[in-house]
Amino acid sequence: MCASVKYNIRGPALIPRMKTKHRIYYITLFSIVLLGLIATGMFQFWPHSIESSGDWSVEKRSVRDVPVVRLPAESPIPERGDLSCRMHTCFDVYRCGFNPKNKIKVYIYSLKKYVDDAGVPVSNTISREYNELLTAISDSDYYTDDINRACLFVPSIDVLNQNTVRIKETAQALAQLSRWDRGTNHLLFNMLPGGPPDYNTALDVPRDRALLAGGGFSTWTYRQGYDVSIPVYSPLSAEVALPEKAPGARRYFLLSSQMSVHPEFREELEALQAKHGESVLVLDKCTNLSEGMLSVRRRCYQHQVFDYPQLLQEATFCVVLRGTRLGQAVLSDVLQAGCVPVVIADSYILPFSEVLDWKRASVVVPEEKMSDVYSILRSIPQRQIEEMQRQARWFWEAYFQSIKAIALATLQIINDRIYPYAAISYEEWNDPPAVKWASVSNPLFLPLIPPQSQGFTAIVLTYDRVESLFRVITEVSKVPSLSKLLVVWNNQNKNPPEESLWPKIRVPLKVVRTAENKLSNRFFPYDEIETEAVLAIDDDIIMLTSDELQFGYEVWREFPDRLVGYPGRLHLWDHEMNKWKYESEWTNEVSMVLTGAAFYHKYFNYLYTYKMPGDIKNWVDAHMNCEDIAMNFLVANVTGKAVIKVTPRKKFKCPECTAIDGLSLDQTHMVERSECINKFASVFGTMPLKVVEHRADPVLYKDDFPEKLKSFPNIGSL
Amino acid sequence: MQPCRKSLWLALSASWLLLILLGICPLFRLAVPPKPPPGHPQGWPHWLDAAFLSSFSQPGEPPEDAPQLPQAPRGSSCSWGTCFDTSKCRGNGLKVFVLPLASPTSEAPQRILASLETSGYHTPNTSEACLLLFLPSLDQRGVCQPLPPHWSAGKNHLVLSLHPALCTHRGQVMVAEASPSADIFRPGFDVALPLLPEDHPLQGGAPGQLQQHSPHSGAVWLAVAEERGGWRIAGIQDSACPWDEHCDLHPRPQQALLCFLRTQLGEMLPNATFCLIPGHRPATSHFLQALQAGCIPVLLSPRWELPFSEVIDWTKAAIIADERLPQQVLAALREMLPGRILTLRQQTQFLWNAYFSSVEKVIHTTLEIIQDRIWGASAHSSLLWNSPPGALLALPTFSMSPQDFPFYFLQQGSHPESRFSALIWVGALGQPPLKLIQAVAGSRHCAQILILWSSEKPLPDRWPKTTVPLTVIEGHRKASDRFFPYSTISTSAILSLDAHSTLSTSEVDFAFVVWQSFPERIVGFLTWNHSWDEARGGWSYSAKMANEFSMVLTTAAFYHRYYHTLFTHSLPKALRTLVDETPTCVDVLMNFLVAAVTKLPPIKVPCGRKHPEPAPLAPGGPGLGSETQPLGQDCINRMVAEFGHMPLVSSRVRLDPVLFKDPVSVQRKKYRSLEKP
C-alpha cells in the first residue's frame, strides 16, 4: 500500500486507476508540494548566499548606491574647535568603560551621501584611501559594530583632503551624526588641511570637540596629548617597491627632490649646490617632457632626467621642505628610500611625534639656519648617519607604508592614552626589530646592594630522605643571615615527620606540601618567601660550611641579579656532533651553577613558574631532570649576565661527581644533561649562557694573613 | 483505495507541514531586513567599485604650485626655532652668564649662584654667553624682583625659578619653573622643574630610599597623598576605593572599613608600592617624595607638566592615569605584573639619583636639556637620559653611539671589545719600565702600549721592541694628566700602569677577561679601604690588608676609556686642582668618580707574587713611603665635601680564576702563574 504512494510520487503513469479529475487534482497537489520542497531545499542549501545576499545589500554594494541624506541649509553647525581640549576635559572616558583587554572599541558610521538643499553633493562620497582606512579599522581588534559599546566614533565622512569638501555643509553633516554630542570621542582623519589663500595647518571644518588625526599640524594648532599628528600618505608607497638598501655612504650627500619649493628656499638650496658641487643635488620638475610621460615620477636637473622616487636611494640626506602645507608626502618617500630626512619646516609637528623619537631618524633644521644645513649635516658622524638611515626605513615600514599602518598607529596612540598602564613602551615604538631581538633589559637593573639585615630564605626540596634533610636543616640554620627555612615536601604518599621530630632551629621553619611530585615545585614563588634572596639547597648538601653559605649570601648581595652557586658547570660546543655538550670536569670556565646549592633573587622563581619560554617547564617535570639548567638559561637570558661560582671546588654528592671520585662516569646522566642544553637552546632560539673564567672568593682567601682575622676562614675545606 | 487515499492525504499534509516549517523561516528572513548574527561584527562594507575610487590627493593639485612664505607665528607664543638664537652657542657649547642678584634676601640663590660658577657652564663674560640666566627671588615685601627691562624682548634668556610661579615672565623669555600648569607651558621651549622642598640639599643629596629591588613583604600596597601634605595608607581590599569623596558617597561596609583603617602618617614618606597623587598642582610636592621613597607614583590626570618631561620618559617610572576611572586604575594596579612593578620601582630610584636629589642636579639637568636642543642631532639619546647612570654622566661629546660607553652593552646587545691599551705612567725620576712593557706586550689582548712620559729626564732614544705599537706621549707632570682622554687611545679598555708596577702577563690576561664581564667598573689588583674615623670625625682610608675594600689602585687597573673623558670634562675644576697639588689623591678621586657613576664597588683580582708595597701614585717625588698609611689622608674628606656624599661602596669579594689554588694538577690551570708564592 505504502509502496504505491512511493510509486505515485514517481509520476502520473503509475496511478492509472484513479479518476482523471482526481488525477489532475493529485498531480497539481503533488507538483505544488514538489515545487515547494525544491524551493525550500534551495533556501536551505543556499542559506549562506541568501543571508549574505541579505548582507550583500550592505557589503557588496556600489558606493554610488548609498543612501542620500539631505542637509537643510539651516541645520546646526558645530563650534569651530576648542584649542584648549585635553583628554581629561574634552574626552568622555566613561564611554570606554572598563575593558579587561585594555583596548578601546571603535565604531564606524555607515556611509551616506550628503547633499544640500539644492541636491548638490557636499563632497566626493569617499576616497580610495579613506575606504582603505575604514576597512583597516573594521578589520582590526578595535572595531565594534555596537554603537552603544563604542568608545571612539569614526564618521565615514571623508575629510582627508580639505579641498574636496564643502566646509560648512560637511560640518553640518558631522553635527547630525547620531552620537555626535559636540564631537565628543569622534575621530576625524585629515591629511591635507587648509586651503587657499592662508592654508591653515589644521582642518578648517568646524568640529567642536572631535579629535583630529591630522597631517601637517603646527605647534599653534596641535593640541598636545589630544590630537594625533599623522603622516601625509604617499600613494607612491604602494605603487613603487623600493627594496631596502644597506646603510652607508651614497652618491649624493644632500638631495632636494620637491617640485614646488618656494623661490626663496630654492635660492638657498641652489647656493648650497653651487658651493658644495656634486655632493648636493637640487631637482625641479621637468618642463620639457613629452605629454605621455608621468611627470610625478620624473625630476630634472638642467637637462638630466631622474626617476623618482628611485633617485632618493642615491642620497644620504633628503630635504623635506615646507610647501604651502607643513606636512609633505615626500617625507614618506624619503623614509622609504632609507634617506635621512632633513626637515626644514618651522613649527611642524612631525608624524606620531608623541611616540616616535624623530631625533633617531631625522635632522630638524630651523628655516633660519638653512644656509648652514650642509655643515650641520657634515658634523654628524658616519656611524650615526647609518643608524639614522636604518631607523628611517624602519619608521616607514612600521608606520608609513600603508594607510592601514597609519590608521592602526593612530588608534594605538589613543588607546595608550586611555589605558596608560598598558601602554606600549618607547622601545617597542622605536627600536627596529633587530635591536629589539638583541637587546636585553635586565629586570634588576638598578645598581643596589640589598641590606644584610634582610637575610635569605632557604628552600629545601625533599622527598623522603628525612635523616639527611634534618642534617641539612641543622647545618643551614647555623648561617647567621638565614631568616627562614622552607621545606618543600614533594612526597604525596607520605606525611612529613611530626612537628616534634624536626630539629629545633632559631628561625621559623615551614613545611609546604605539594600536590604533585614535580621538580618545578622547588622554584615556585611561595608566599612564605619574605626575603628577596633565596637559597635553593638539596636535601643532601651537607658539606657546605656555615662560612661558605654566609659568604655566598654576601656575594649574592653584591650581584643580586645573578645566580650565585657552588658547584659550577660548563656548556661546550661539540664540533664533531655539531651540538652542545654538558661538561662537569675541572675546567677553567663556568657557565652554569647547580641549583642544588645556589642563591638567587626570588623574582626568578616567579619567572620560572609563569614566564618560562615554550614547553620547558613541562619538559623538565616530565623528565624529572634539568630544572637547574632551565633556571640557568632563564636567568642568563633575562639578565644577559653570567653566573657567579662561589668558593673552591668541593666534593658534592651528585651523580656526576662520581667522576671526580675516580669511579665510573654516569654516562647516561651526562647524555641527558647535554640533551637538555640542546633542547633549551632551541626553545630559547639562542644560547643565552655566558662563559666566564672567574669565581668569587673572600678578599683574603689563601692570603698570607692570620686566619682568625679573616671574615670567612672556613672556606674550601674538603 | 480508501486507506491508500488516507495515507496519501497523510503524506500530503506531512509534506505541507514540512514545506511550511522549512519554508517559513527563509521567507520570514526575506521579509524582515537582514540583521547580522550576534557576535559577528558586520564591519565596513567591501565596495564593489572600491577599485575605481579616486585617490584623496590628485597629483599636480594646485596647492603645491602656490608656495607661500612663513606666516609669523600667531599670538605671542614662542618656540625654540623662533625665539632662540643658537648662533651664539657655536663652538664651546652652552656658556651661561648669570645675571647678578640685585638684593638677595635669602641665602639660597647665592649658593646656587656659587655652585653655577664652579660648573663648566659658567662664563663671566656676557659677550661669550649663549644663555643669560636670571634667578628671581623675593624681596622683603615678598614682591617679585622685576626683570631688567631690556630682557623680556631679548632672546636666549632663561628665568629659572625653583619655587612655583612666584614670578611669571613670559614673552621671549624661556621659563624654567616648578610644576608649570600644562596650559601655559610651551613644550620644547620652557622647562618643567620639580617642586623642590625648601631644605633640598644643594649638592650630593640623599640617595633614593629603596634598599631592595622588589617591594618589601610588609609594604603597604597603596598610599594616597593628602591635601594637607601627608600620606594616608589604603588597604588592599577589592573594590575598596581610596578617594575620600567616593568613600563618603558610597558608604558600603567594605569601603567604610577602609576609610577607618587608614592611618595618618603625617609627613612620613610612605613605605608603599604605589603612591596615588591627585592631579591638582598643590599635590606636586608629593610627587618628589614618592619618587625618592621608591613608591611608584600614580598620577591622576595631572594638570601640571611633569619635571623634565622633554627628556624623561615618565611612563617608565610612573603611572599616569585618568582620575575619572578610579576603579579601572585600581584594578589595573592590582593586576600589574610583578616584572612591571620591579621596573617601575627601580626607575624611580634611578631618576631620583640622577636628576632630582640635589638642587645642583636639577639646575644642571635644566642646562643640559637646553644644550641638547642646541646640539640637535648630536644630543643625548633617549637611552642616555632614561637608563643609568643618566645623561649628566653620559657625555654625548664622547661618542654618539651608546655601545662606545661602558654602560649600555646589554641594551645594545653588544660586547666589550677584546683588546686593551696599556697606559704606562713614568713618574719624575722614572726609568723606562722595560720589564713591564714586555710583560704587558706579551698579553694576547694588548693592542697598543702608550708611555706617558712625565719624568724630568730626557726621553730615552730606544724603546724595547714589542709586537704591539708603542707610542710615547709627553706629559705635563701633572697628576691629572694620567686621566686625560688622549686621542691616541684606540681601544675602550685601558690598563693603567705605573712604571713601578710589576705584573705578569698571566695577571694581565686574567684581569682583562674579568673586566670584560664588568666593563663599567675598575678592575685592579691592589686595594684600599675607607672607613669612618670616629676619633677624627672624618673619613680615612687605609692600605692595610683587610676583609673589605672600596678602592682599587690605578697603578695597575683596567677601566673603560670613557672615565678619562668624565675625569677631565665633568669633574669640578677644584677637584682636579686638588689632585694636581696633592698627587697622592689621584687614585682616590678616580675611585670616587667611578663609584659615583656606577654606585658599585670596584673589582679585585688576585696578584701572583707579592707586590713591593701598595704605594699610592706619587709622581711628585720620592715620597713612596713604605708605611701602610697612604699619604694625603685629607683629600678623601675634601672630596666628600665636593661630591656632597661618600660614593665609595665596599666589597668583600675577590674574583679568582675558577681553579685558583684548587687541588688539581697545575697543568689543568689556565692561570697557573697566579699561584706562585
Grid cell 621530630 in the structure block, residue: A501
Closest by CA position to A283, among listed A256, A260, A308: A256
Q: Is the pLDDT of residue A98 over 70?
A: no
What is the C-alpha separation between A107 and A144, in angstroms, rounded?
A: 5
Is residue B498 within 8 A of residue B425, CB to CB? The reply is: yes
What is the C-alpha separation between A338 and A352, in angstroms, rounded?
A: 18
pLDDT at B449: 95
Longest dimension (CA), chain B: 142
Q: Is the pLDDT of residue B491 over 50?
A: yes
Q: pLDDT grade, residue B64 (50/70/90)?
A: very low
Instruction: Give the DSSP per-residue string, B582-617.
Output: SGGGHHHHHHHHHHHHH-S--EE---SSPPS--PPP
pLDDT tens per residue, range A487-497? 999 999 999 99
Q: In which region does residue A208 sit, left (phi positive, over 0), alpha (psi from -120 to 50) or beta (all else)?
A: left
C-alpha cell at B364: 644642571
Give A-chain residues touching B514 at CB under 8 angstroms.
693-694
More confident residue, A486 or B614: A486
Grid cell 590628485 in the structure block, residue: B58
Closest by CA position to B244, among listed B231, B259, B234: B259
Length of chain A: 718
Q: Is the pLDDT of residue A658 over 50?
A: no
What value does the mean pLDDT take over residues B555-559?
95
What value does the mean pLDDT take over residues A129-148?
94
Query: Distance (Å) from the C-alpha of residue B49 to the closest C-alpha of chain A?
Result: 6
ipTM, interface predicted TM-score of the complex = 0.87
Question: Is B653–A558 a contact, with Cβ atoms under 8 angstroms apart?
Answer: yes
Instruction: Indicate the helix (H) or strand (E) that contains B131.
Output: strand B131-134
Give A-chain residues touching B662 at CB under 8 angstroms.
586, 648-649
Whether B535 has its CB under 8 Å from any CB of chain A: the answer is no
Q: What's the count of helices (H) and strands (E) in chain A, helices before strands? A: 20, 25
What is the C-alpha separation between B90 and B283, in angstroms, rounded?
A: 40
What value does the mean pLDDT take over residues A243-264?
90
Is residue A590 within 8 A of residue B662, CB to CB? The reply is: no
Beta bridge partners of A486: A459, A510
Query: Distance (Å) from the C-alpha of residue B431 to the closest C-alpha of chain A?
Result: 31
What value does the mean pLDDT take over residues A3-12?
42
Is residue B338 within 8 A of residue A604, CB to CB? The reply is: no
pLDDT above 70: percentage of residues in chain B: 77
Query: Distance (Å) from the C-alpha of residue B236 to the closest C-alpha of chain A?
Result: 16
Q: Is the pLDDT of residue B41 over 70?
A: no
What value does the mean pLDDT take over residues B278-292?
84
Instruction: Indicate the helix (H) or strand (E) that contains A229.
Output: strand A228-229
What value does the mean pLDDT take over residues A104-121?
92
Q: Is the pLDDT of residue A614 over 90?
A: yes
More confident residue, A6 or A644: A644
pLDDT at B180: 85
pLDDT at A99: 67
Q: Is the pLDDT of residue A519 over 80?
A: yes
Q: Which of A218-232, B161-175, B298-312 has the lowest mean pLDDT?
A: B161-175
Distances (CA, A) of B303 to A84, B148, B321, B383: 12, 31, 12, 27
- Is B183 strand, coil or helix? coil
Question: Is B658–A590 a contact, with Cβ atoms under 8 angstroms apart?
Answer: yes
pLDDT at B240: 45
What is the C-alpha separation between A190 and A183, in angstroms, rounded?
A: 15
Query: Distance (Å) from the C-alpha of residue B114 to the closest C-alpha of chain A?
Result: 31
Write b or e for each residue in B393-407: b if 16 or more Cβ atoms lie within 10 A of its Cβ, otherwise e: bbbbebbbebbbbbb
- Is B84 strand, coil or helix? coil
pLDDT at A304: 87
Three-state SS sequence of B477-541: CCHHHHHCCCCCCCCCEEEEEECCCCCCHHHHHHHHHHHHHCCCCCEECCEEEEEEECCCCEEEE
pLDDT at A331: 96
Q: In which region does residue B540 sit, left (phi positive, over 0), alpha (psi from -120 to 50) or beta (all else)?
A: beta
Is residue A561 within 8 A of residue A444, CB to CB? The reply is: yes
What value does the mean pLDDT take over residues B344-373?
93
Measured between CA atoms, the residue of chain A closest to residue B73 is A220
pLDDT at A512: 94
pLDDT tens per residue, range A391-429? 999 999 999 999 999 999 999 999 999 988 889 999 999
More confident residue, B548 or B8: B548
Q: Is the pLDDT of residue A162 over 80?
A: yes
Q: Is the pLDDT of residue B211 over 80?
A: yes
Q: Is the pLDDT of residue A82 over 50?
A: yes
Amino acid at B110: Q
Cis preceding-peptide flag for B109 (omega within 30 of 0): no
Whether A43 has its CB under 8 Å from any CB of chain B: the answer is yes
pLDDT at B150: 59
More confident residue, B62 or A292: A292
Q: Is the dihedral of CA B235, B240, B241, B246 positive or negative?
A: negative
What is the C-alpha separation between A83 and B77, in angstroms, rounded?
A: 14
Amino acid at A82: D
The pTM of the full predicted model, rounded to 2 decimals, is 0.86
Length of chain B: 677
Q: Please enumerate in sequence order all residues whose Cβ is within 8 A of that of A24, keeping only pairs 6 or more positions apart, or say none.
A: none
Q: Please enumerate in sequence order all residues whose Cβ is within 8 A of that of B509, keeping only pairs 6 or more positions apart, or say none.
A: B443, B444, B445, B671
Q: pLDDT grade, residue B631 (50/70/90)?
A: low
Q: pLDDT grade, residue A73 (50/70/90)?
A: confident
Q: Which of A27-36, A254-263, B452-461, B572-581 has the lowest mean pLDDT?
A: A27-36
Q: Is the pLDDT of residue A51 over 90?
A: no
Q: pLDDT grade, residue A442 (50/70/90)?
A: very high
Write b or e for each residue in A309-342: b if 16 or more Cβ atoms lie within 10 A of its Cβ, otherwise e: bebbbbbbbbbbbbbbbbbbbbbbbbbbbbbbbb
**Which residues of B are annotated as catalytic?**
587
Mutate to test the interface with B, among A694, A701, A707, A712 (most CBs of B within 10 A): A694
pLDDT tens per residue, range A551-609? 999 999 999 999 999 999 999 999 999 999 999 888 999 999 999 999 999 999 999 99
What is the C-alpha separation between A635 and A302, in angstroms, rounded?
A: 63
Q: Is the pLDDT of residue A9 over 50?
A: no
C-alpha cell at B463: 724603546
Measured between CA atoms, the residue of chain B closest to residue A388 is B377
C-alpha cell at B447: 693592542
Q: Please enumerate in sequence order all residues whose Cβ is within 8 A of that of B606, keeping only pairs 6 or more positions apart, or say none.
A: B525, B654, B656, B657, B660, B674
Most trustworthy range by pLDDT among A41-55, B80-94, B200-214, B532-546: B532-546
Instruction: Give the DSSP per-residue string, A510-537.
Output: EEEE-SS--GGGGG---TT--SSEEEEE
Cis preceding-peptide flag for B389 (omega within 30 of 0): yes
What is the C-alpha separation between A127 and A164, in angstroms, rounded?
A: 10
pLDDT at A290: 63
Of A37, A435, A696, the CB nearest to B19: A37
What value does the mean pLDDT take over residues B363-368?
93
Q: pLDDT grade, residue B75 (50/70/90)?
A: very low
User: Taking the mean position of all CA atoms in its chain, how far away is CA B405?
Assistant: 13
What value does the mean pLDDT take over residues B641-648?
90
pLDDT tens per residue, range B190-208? 899 998 888 888 888 888 8
What is the C-alpha separation between B645 and B651, in angstroms, rounded?
A: 18
C-alpha cell at B232: 594616608
Instruction: Give the DSSP per-residue string, B536-588.
Output: TTEEEEE-S--S-B-EE-TTEEEEETHHHHHHHHTS-HHHHHHHHHSGGGHHH
Question: Is B26–A603 a contact, with Cβ atoms under 8 angstroms apart?
Answer: no
Mean pLDDT across chain A, nearest whole number?
A: 87
Write b or e for each residue in B44-80: b if 16 or more Cβ atoms lie within 10 A of its Cβ, otherwise e: bbebeeeeebeebbeeeeebbeebeeeeebeeebbbb
Q: How many CA atoms lie within 13 A of B566 on its CB side?
A: 23
Whether B531 has its CB under 8 Å from any CB of chain A: the answer is no
Q: pLDDT grade, residue A10 (50/70/90)?
A: very low
Amino acid at B146: P
Classify residue A393 by its DSSP letter: H
Most trustworthy range by pLDDT among A57-71, A272-286, B590-604: B590-604
pLDDT at B147: 64
Count of CB atoms situated within 10 Å of the CB of B100: 9
Q: Is the pLDDT of residue A286 over 50?
A: yes
Q: Which of A222-231, B137-146, B637-646 has the lowest mean pLDDT?
A: B137-146
Q: Is the pLDDT of residue B39 over 70?
A: no
Q: Between A and B, how many residue pairs show a Cβ–Cβ distance under 8 A? A: 429
pLDDT at B137: 67
Phi, psi angle pair for A219, to nearest 5°: -60, -20
Q: Is the pLDDT of residue A448 over 80?
A: yes
Distances (CA, A) of B236 to A162, A528, B93, B327, B556: 53, 18, 52, 13, 55
Question: Is B217–A568 a contact, with Cβ atoms under 8 angstroms apart?
Answer: no
Sheet containing strand B493-498, strands side by side? A694-698, B653-657, B603-604, B523-524, B556-560, B493-498, B420-426, B446-453, B470-474
Q: pLDDT grade, residue A169 (50/70/90)?
A: very high
C-alpha cell at B373: 636642543
Measured between CA atoms, the residue of chain B closest to residue A367 is B81
pLDDT at B106: 65
pLDDT above 90: percentage of residues in chain B: 34
pLDDT tens per residue, range B462-487? 888 889 999 999 888 888 889 999 99
Q: Which of A684-693, B14-23, B153-162 has the lowest mean pLDDT?
A: B14-23
> Which positions 274-333 of B are in contact with A (Cβ < 8 Å)?
279, 301, 303, 313, 315-316, 319-325, 327-329, 331-333
What is the C-alpha separation between B347 and B294, in angstroms, rounded?
A: 8
Measured between CA atoms, the residue of chain B closest to residue A647 is B658
pLDDT tens per residue, range B565-613? 999 998 888 898 999 988 888 999 999 999 999 999 999 999 876 554 4
